[in-house]
Structures are given as C-alpha cells and as structure tokens.
Amino acid sequence: MAGNSGYREVLKNKEYRKLLTAAIINRLGDSIDSIASAWIVYELTSNAMWSAIVFGINKVPSVIIAPFAGAWVEGKKKKGIMVITDLIRAICVAFIATGVLMGFLKAWMIVSATFIISTAEAFRLPAGSSVTPKILGKENLSHGISLTTAMSTVTELVGMAIAGGIIAIIGSAGAIYIDMATFILSAAIISTIKIPNDEESISNNTIQEYFGTLKMGFKYVFVNKVFLFLVVLASLLNGILVPINSLMAPLANEVIKGGAEIVSVISVSFTVGMLLGTVIYPKIRKIIKKEMFVLGSGIGIGIYYVLTVLVSPMYGNALFRYGFTVMASLLLGGVIALINNFINVEFVSSIDEKYLSRASSIMNAMGGAVTPVMSFVISIVAAYLPTSAIFFGTGIIDLIIFLYLVFSHMVVDILYEDTNSSEHEYAE
C-alpha cells in the first residue's frame, strides 16, 4: 500500500507527469529507431565493420565530451538545453531518413550524424538528471525514478515488438521519421514544464569561469567517497555484463543448445524482470539495508553466470531448457534493475544539487568507459576460449569480488559515512 501511495503522490505532480510523458515518447522512438538503424547500416554497407564503427562512435561523446558538457550545463537553464538537444537529434535522424528515402545516404554520413546525436545527448543527459529532483524533491525521488524507469522499459518493449511491423509497412526510413517526430513532440512537452529554480547563472560565461566550474566539480566528486564507490560499482557492473550483452547468441547456441528463439526468450524475460525489479524497488528499499542491494545484486549476477554453465547437461530436456532460461533471465533482470535504481537514487541523494549536472556527466563517462574496453577484451578471449568458459570465469571473478566486499565491510563503511563535509569544503 505504501508503495502504491508513493506512486500516486508523484503522479499528482503535473510537471513530473509532463517529464514522464516526454521520456516515454522519447524511448518509444529510440527503440524503433535502434532496430531500423541497424538494418540501414547493414543494408547500406553489407559490412559488420561499419556497425562496429557506428557503435564505437556512439560511445565516444559519453566518455570524452560528457564531463566537460556537464560543467557547461551547470550554469545554464536546463529546460532550454533539453529542448534544443531534442531538436538537434530530430534534425539528424530526419537527415538519415531522408538520405535513405532519396538514395544519397553514405556510411560516413551515418557516422557523422551518430556523433552529432551522441554529442547532443552528452549535454541533454546531465541537464535532465538535475531536473527530476528539482521537480519532485528528494523525498519522492525513489518512486519518481522507479516509475520513469519502469514506464520507459515497458515502452522499449512495445517499441521493439512493433518495430518489425512498422519497418515492413512504411520501411526503415519511415520508422526513423517516427523517431524524428518523437524528438519534436518531446521538445514541445518539455518546453511547457515549469522547473523550480531553473535560472541561468551569471557566472560560468567566460573560459576562466568555465574551467573553474569544471575543476570545482572534479574536486567535489573526487572527495565524495559515496560518489567514487558508485562509479566503481557502475563500472564493475557494466564490465561484468559485457559477456551476456555481447555473447548472447553464442550462449543460446553453444551452452543452452537452442537457436534464435532462446535469444528472444532471454531478452524478453530479462526485460520483464527489469520492469518488475524497478516497480518493487521503492518497497524493497524500505525493508533491506543499502549494502544488501550491492552485495545481493553482485552475487546474484555471479550465480547466474555460473549456474547457466553448470546446468548445461540438463538443457537436453526442452521443458527444463525453456523453464530455467525464463526464470534465470527474469531474476537477472530483476537483480540488475534493483542495483541500477539503487545507484541512481543514492547518486542523486549523495550529491549536492548544484553539482548534479557535473557529477552526472563524470559518472556516465567513467561508468560507461569500461564497456568498449571489456567488449574488446571479450572479443579477443572469445577467439581462444569457448563461451561456457568465458561465462563460468566471469561468474567466478564476480563472486570473488563481491564476497570480498562482504567480508571487508567496505560497502558498509562507505555507504554510511557522512560525506557532507565535502560540500562545505568546495562550496562555490
């Protein structure tokens, strides 16, 4: 009852409802676009290399540009940045769709447009991350973040389910025009939101002030032990999840002894698990301690990797194969949703509001940097080891790390330490 009451409370907030609607519309367009774009790149080049290049280019701004973008965003009106970046993304996807429709699109154009889109997102994400607490206040953050994540996950599921039909009916270009329309609609909705204290600072308008703001942001976050722990935790989780994200097809075929249908079973079950985990997070947060989110989730992921390999002799039974895959993927999705929500809520709760944009950018850059590195490592290891060995080894490494955190009491010491002194030491 308390959980439902919390969701009702945040939904009473008119400005939050607008923000939620814009996020849902954005996610629907992106989920359709992700499938349409993958087809376009492959159809245009017939070369997997270009797919890898586009993937890599998409990650560059979040790692390199985002920390600097966050410092710039800090002193600006967040609503204006969100509207402008949505419109920039709309123009870029419209260019790609028009290029497909008129036949002039080249691979390098997709790479360039992708870089511009990702750069715009590097500015939008830190702006957006500081808006939710302004609208809801910290007391309603758990339910607000959980509801946004849950609705976005449902929308992504719907978008991926209907993408194939949309592409079949109106083509890849038509699907990407839908993404363009969602960006424009999102910008229109956000332009009507009233954000408390969303005023442009008189400072940060010169090069010296900008670098001063950037330096102060780095100083602030790097003496905040909770922030540093959350960055390390996010990086660790991103790295550990690379095998399941990059080797899902080999897992389905070599380990589980299935085909493409197993990939679908894993993906759908995982997404449903994430949805359930997100919805129950606020209630779970009230009854278990902080450290249990970290330790339980980390150990749960390790057990998934190990068990998936250990039960391989039983995959010959079709009932067991599908039943175990569904249950294991549901639990994995739920576990990841819980730890993701925990990281998001703890992050916003532990960072002073005036540092949120900068801290968010640094968090995204540092947490996300491990993914392309680990993808490269896994691609090399996969050339020499079977998928089962990679999964089993990843699970063992995961369990060793998180069991160490259990017995060292490191998690408890950091999460319950008062870090407010850093706010005063580097107050602006």
CATH number at 152 reads: 1.20.1250.20
Kindly tell me the burial class for residue 165, based on how many C-beta atoms sit within 10 Å of its own C-beta (0-12, 13-18, 19 or more).
exposed
Range of lowest pLDDT (253-267, 310-324, 390-404): 253-267
More confident residue, 196 or 343: 343
Q: Please give the Cα distance from 387 to 322 (Å, whole number).
A: 19
Residue 267 and residue 167 share a domain: no
Q: Please give the Cα distance from 251 to 195 (Å, whole number).
A: 46
The crossing angle, in degrees rounded to 10, of helices 66-74 and 207-222 is: 110
Mean residue pLDDT of the chain comes to 79
pLDDT band at 346 (very low <50, low <70, confident <90, very high): confident
Residue 24 and residue 161 share a domain: yes
pLDDT band at 272 (very low <50, low <70, confident <90, very high): confident
Burial state string for 52-86 with b = 16 or more CB within 10 A and e = fewer than 16: ebbeebbebbbbebbbbbbbbbbbbebbebbbebb
Residue 237 and residue 124 share a domain: no
Q: Please give the Cα distance from 258 to 317 (Å, whole number).
A: 11
Last residue of a domain, one of 188, 205, 222: 205
Q: 197 lies in a domain?
A: yes
Max Cα–Cα distance, the chain, nearest Å: 68
Residue 139 and residue 167 share a domain: yes
Q: 174 lies in a domain?
A: yes
Q: Please give the Cα distance from 400 to 421 (Å, whole number).
A: 33
- Rounded to two decimals, the pTM is 0.64
pLDDT score of 230 more than 90: no
Q: 370 lies in a domain?
A: yes
pLDDT of residue 269: 84
pLDDT band at 56 (very low <50, low <70, confident <90, very high): low
What CATH number did the domain enclosing 394 receive?
1.20.1250
DSSP H helices, 61-140, are 66-74, 78-102, 107-129, 131-136
Q: Which tens digits make up the pLDDT trace of 89-121?
A: 899 989 988 998 888 888 788 888 888 888 888
pLDDT band at 326 (very low <50, low <70, confident <90, very high): very high
Name the residue with tokens 């849950």: 150
- Of 166-175, 255-264, 315-324, 379-388, give the range with the top mean pLDDT: 315-324
pLDDT of residue 121: 83
pLDDT of residue 425: 44
List the structure tokens of 311: 């039960």
Residue 16 and residue 111 share a domain: yes
Q: Which tens digits make up the pLDDT trace of 164-211?
A: 677 778 888 888 898 899 999 999 999 998 887 666 655 555 566 656
List the structure tokens of 12: 């009473």
Amino acid at 185: L
Q: 1 lies in a domain?
A: no
Last residue of a domain, one of 183, 205, 227: 205
Last residue of a domain, one of 205, 225, 249: 205
Residue 236 and residue 164 share a domain: no
Q: 168 lies in a domain?
A: yes
Give the domain range for residue 218: 212-416
pLDDT of residue 200: 60
**Alpha-carbon distances of 302 from 137, 171, 396, rounded to whole Å:** 35, 41, 7
Residue 344 and residue 362 share a domain: yes
More confident residue, 246 or 185: 185
Geometric angle at alpha carbon 274, from 310 and 265, rounded to 5° = 55
pLDDT band at 424 (very low <50, low <70, confident <90, very high): very low
Residue 331 and residue 189 share a domain: no
Q: 147 lies in a domain?
A: yes
pLDDT of residue 352: 72
Residue 170 and residue 102 share a domain: yes
H or E, element range at 12: none
pLDDT score of 393 more than 80: yes
- Of 29-38, 209-218, 390-399, give the range with the top mean pLDDT: 390-399
Count Cα neighbours of 157 within 13 Å in the Cβ-side half-sphere.
17
Residue 226 and residue 134 share a domain: no
| Mean pLDDT value of segment 139-164 | 76
Nearest to 273 by CA among 338, 197, 202: 338
pLDDT of residue 308: 93
Q: 368 lies in a domain?
A: yes
SS3 label, residue 93:
helix
Residue 153 and residue 235 share a domain: no
Residue 329 and residue 189 share a domain: no
List the structure tokens of 261: 């249908």
SS3 label, residue 361:
helix
pLDDT score of 142 more than 80: no
More confident residue, 242 or 186: 186
Q: 427 lies in a domain?
A: no
Residues contacting residue 232 through CB under 8 Å, at least 6 positions apart: none
Domain count, the chain: 2
